[in-house]
Amino acid sequence: MDKIIIGEHEYGYYYKSYIEKSTNASIVDGLKGNLDKVVSFFSAIPEDKHNYKYAEGKWTIKEILLHIIDTERIFTYRALRVARYDKTALPGFEQNGYVDKSYANHRSLENLIEEFVAVRQATIALYASFNSEVLLQIGEASGYPISVRALAYITIGHENHHIEIINNRYL
């Protein structure tokens, strides 16, 4: 399958690495495939690593998973707003502040995985409702243009990015 081309006018440069780490699949197939990948990956992490940080000031594995969940919620909300032709510029978010107040380490990894599955199923349902015209709709988030489809591929690439980090620095 050919690599799906997302035009650089559809996202801010900051997201380029996430687009590159995404998938060649259609959006819905990519979201479904990464659902299985993320669940399998996090489910296989030994319990003694769940609250592990590889350095002071870094996030635990549970905090990373909740960060992935929070980010997907925010990106899906952005996608909904843009898909509905809402031209309001959407603000960014401070990811460290979200993690600091997440209390992820007080939850079980299994509970976080359940939440991820629920959020992903909602994301899949939303994207399955979009037609090709809607997927190309462009709005503004964090001061940059963003298309509905770019948000989906960024979501997939973002979780792939964090899986790479966990593999390289935590396990």
Helix residue ranges per DSSP H, the chain:
16-20, 27-43, 61-83, 95-100, 109-128, 132-135, 148-169
> Does position 95 have pLDDT exceeding 50, yes or no?
yes
134-39-29-67 Cα dihedral, nearest 10 degrees:
20
User: All domains of the chain, ordered by start, with CATH?
Assistant: 8-169 (1.20.120.450)
Judge contact between 44 and 61, C-beta under 8 A.
no
Residue-wise pLDDT for 3-17, tens only, equals: 578 999 999 999 999
> Does position 1 have pLDDT exceeding 70, yes or no?
no
Residue-wise pLDDT for 119-145, tens only, equals: 999 999 999 999 999 999 999 999 999
